[in-house]
Structure 1
Amino acid sequence: MGRARKPSRRGWPANLYAHRDGFKYRHPITRKEHGMGKDFAKACAAAKKLNALLMPGNDLVSKVLTPGETVADAIRVFRTDDVPGRKWAPKTAEVYESVIRRIESGLGETPVADVTVKTCATFIREVTESDRARQQFRLVLGWILACAVEEGWIDTNPALATRKFSHSRKRERLTIDAYRAIWDAAPQWVRNAMDLSLLTLLRRDDVVSARFSDVRDGSLWIVPAKTEESTNVRLQISTAGPLSDLLARCRDAVVSPFLIHRLPEKARPSHMRAKDREHHTQVLPEQLSRAFAAARDAAGINTDNPPTFHEIRSLGGALLKEAGWTNEQIQALMGHSNVAMTEHYLGGHEAPWQAVSTGIALPR
């Protein structure tokens, strides 16, 4: 505590002092002094206002008017009331939970009433250097503060007024020529996986989890893992044509319940296998990614941002578009909840040539 005021100055506001030119105010944090003029009433009023702004817990009025809820309280509401309804897939939930924890660490103790547009903008810019990640933080922070609005703690959502960060896809698209080169350099089980993804547009995780028992009644029946708990997409893909030939090729000399399979390089007892492996011939998603990357490198495709296995899905969609499929038809096969996401996947590929005729005669 500071020393007691002189009896003649006991009614003065804190940090206000006499000065040879009248009165001065000493900043409670920086200790820098500022002249306040010669009018005592005005100096007192200014000092009280500055103390309310600069001294935490000093403004009794704001304690009455400002709710005590913090960003951490809004996060608790978001986790309890909003997250279950979003039905995120496990990997998606893991990504968003990581973002939520970083927001909680950076802004959790801040009262929601004190969160301004500048507060949000500063946090988003400083939390990461990636524009793509910044946009993700902006999105999640907006969801959290929307809960504060809905609870009546604040009137507007400051995160919505911050800048939207645009980012371009860095990973290169996979061309049909590159696909053929990688296919030639890959082992047979990787070729089967590539062709299955190209024909069905299935994601990597669904490719390696597809079973022979999923093939029945002339169709391949797939419930995509990523959308199982959200959009509840269920795919019945006809096995006619090239897909039928591929499924026959998958039935090789190795006995396995999985369409995509391989014999392990080292036989291990069941208790020593990876916890996600149900059968010794099962291919894990990470194994497929590594094998695809190895074949890609062997094919001489060593660019700064080489295409991954996931780009086969985009290439397959572009080939269907070129064959005359509509975006809505491709959306159904990809299992997207909206056509905008499908169009994002189709972007970056060369547009097909359109056959047109002209009925205009040249003037003679």
Structure 2
Amino acid sequence: MARPRNKGNKDIPTNLYRGDGNAWRYRHPVTGKFHSMGTDKNKAFQAARKLNEILIFEVDLVSKVLGGGVLFGSFSDEYLMNKRRKDGRLLAENTLNTYKIHLNRIKTYWGDKPIDSITLLMVNQYLDSLPPSSSVNVRSLLCNIFDVAMSKGLCPDNPARITLKRSVTKQRKRHTVEGLKLIRQHAPVWLQNAIDLAMLTTQRRTDIVNMRWTDIRDGFLYVAQQKTTNDALDEFETLEGAGYIRIKIDDELQKVLDRCKADNVVSPFIIHQNPKRKSSNKKKEHWTQILPLYLSEEFIRIVYLSNAYPNLKGRQIPTFHEIRALAIFLHKKMGKSAQALAGHSTKNMTEHYESGHEIIWNDVDVGIKLPFTDVT
């Protein structure tokens, strides 16, 4: 609920509260978590206003004028339209589409109901109707939506946050060096290169296929990471925001980059292919481009072809994304810090926004050599 205004706090920005002594605290309007803002009043006020500009969107003006209850359907549409990542950037296309699918289903039940009329029982009944993994994801989305609604005074509590999160047994298994080596032996050259880049840099699928030759400058590979996740099952992800890193190109990484150029195909993308036929695809910037979905599908096809994991089936089979986990494990095994290379944030959200969104590139080094004996 919003804080009652009186003479003592009427000039305090929304979501900013006095802590112990002279300290100030900022309440995140979506997560409800408090973040320390220090003891300097002016700096705390300034930071809180910046945060509010980013994290809070305006309630539908029509609903304000009419004075009626805001419908869940219209509010969720507005929420999704204004939803941003924790660093203020637009959501990734796949993430946005996933949210749309979830919300379209939910709106068939609650779309025409005032958001403050949705009860704990209603939320529980809907979540219980879903498979465990979907239930966890939808619960997280609903928690965020109702948190925003609470911050605007549209509902008295958050019925989703009171529900119990269902436990999910992770089915997907991790890659092994031996398994990935076998996959690589059966893969086309462009996919071998993608695997090698993922192993050395620990980057995600989307970041791998988006790497361009123009991202290489002054002996560094610059990566502005495109993806963050709210997946609690992914132990290598954080919620603070995507990282901006520049990776020092050592001899091992240079060999991979040289192999990417060896096909003499002129492409703006480091990972690319010369397809058997050029086909028009609105999602492609260039005919040689590898799209993330195609990378995933081709990788799984090669996994089956190679019979790398004969004892695994279905959702147990590790995907291209799990290369990231193996790479991070190998970096740690070598005594290298994988946190900076993976782009994991070490500063809290408040400090990030106080920086005025200035991009600070973190210099990192590759910490391993490729564990594939046939690599030259």
Same fold, judged at TM 0.5 (above):
yes
CA distances 1:232-258 after superposition (whole Å, capped 9, x unpaired): 522200111311111122221422232
Separation in 2 of the partners of 1:122 and 1:179? 42
Q: Is the 8 A contact 1:200 1:333 kept in 2?
A: yes
**Aligned partner (choices 248, 264, 280) of residue 258 of structure 2:** 248
Separation in 2 of the partners of 1:242 and 1:146? 47
CA RMSD of aligned residues (A): 2.6
Separation in 2 of the partners of 1:198 and 1:307? 15
Q: Is the 8 A contact 1:197 1:312 kept in 2?
A: yes
Corresponding residue number in structure 1 for 2:72: 71
Distance 1:333 1:149, change over 3 A: same
Separation in 2 of the partners of 1:336 and 1:152? 34
Q: Is the 8 A contact 1:67 1:153 kept in 2?
A: no
Q: Is the 8 A contact 2:172 2:318 kept in 1?
A: yes
Greater helix percent: which structure?
Answer: 1
Corresponding residue number in structure 2 for 1:307: 318
Distance 1:274 1:142, change over 3 A: same
Corresponding residue number in structure 2 for 1:89: 92
Distance 1:286 1:83, change over 3 A: closer
Task: Give unmatched runs, 5+ long, in structure 2.
Answer: 1-66, 229-239, 348-376
- Paired residues for 1:197-208 under 5 Å: 197-208=198-209
CA distances 1:294-340 after superposition (whole Å, capped 9, x unpaired): 322222134212111111111101101111134xxx2322223469x
**Aligned partner (choices 248, 261, 264) of residue 238 of structure 1:** 248
Aligned: 1:294 with 2:295 = no
Corresponding residue number in structure 1 for 2:29: none
Separation in 2 of the partners of 1:142 and 1:309? 30
Aligned: 1:122 with 2:125 = yes
Partner SS for 2:247: strand
Letter in 2 for 1:173: R
Letter in 1 for 2:97: E
Shift of residue 73 of structure 1? 4.8
Task: Give unmatched runs, 5+ long, in structure 1.
Answer: 1-65, 340-364
Separation in 1 of the partners of 2:171 and 2:298? 22
Corresponding residue number in structure 2 for 1:161: 162
- Paired residues for 1:44-193 under 5 Å: 68-76=69-77, 78-79=79-80, 87-126=90-129, 128=130, 130-193=131-194
**Considering only CA atoms, is the larger Rg found in Structure 1 or Structure 2?**
1
Separation in 2 of the partners of 1:284 and 1:68? 43
CA distances 1:77-119 after superposition (whole Å, capped 9, x unpaired): 5346655857422221221122222222211223334322111
- Give the share of equivalent positions with the same residue, in percent: 32
Partner SS for 2:227: helix
**Aligned partner (choices 270, 274, 282) of residue 289 of structure 2:** 282
Partner SS for 1:95: helix
Q: Is the 8 A contact 1:142 1:160 kept in 2?
A: yes
User: TM-score if structure 2 supplies the norm length?
Assistant: 0.63
Letter in 2 for 1:97: K
Partner SS for 2:222: strand
Distance 1:276 1:69, change over 3 A: closer
Distance 1:151 1:333, change over 3 A: same
CA distances 1:113-134 after superposition (whole Å, capped 9, x unpaired): 43221111012112x2x21110
Aligned: 1:322 with 2:333 = yes
Aligned: 1:336 with 2:344 = yes
CA distances 1:119-175 after superposition (whole Å, capped 9, x unpaired): 11012112x2x2111012112222222233233333221211111112122111101
Q: Is the 8 A contact 2:242 2:343 kept in 1?
A: no
Corresponding residue number in structure 2 for 1:213: 214
Q: Is the 8 A contact 1:218 1:238 kept in 2?
A: yes
Q: Is the 8 A contact 2:83 2:91 kept in 1?
A: no
Corresponding residue number in structure 1 for 2:59: none
Distance 1:185 1:109, change over 3 A: same
Letter in 1 for 2:169: S
Q: Is the 8 A contact 1:77 1:147 kept in 2?
A: no
Aligned length: 263
Q: Is the 8 A contact 1:222 1:236 kept in 2?
A: yes
Partner SS for 1:281: coil
Partner SS for 1:226: coil
Structure 1 range deviating more: 279-288 or 167-176: 279-288
Separation in 1 of the partners of 2:296 and 2:280? 19
Distance 1:275 1:76, change over 3 A: closer
Aligned: 1:261 with 2:236 = no
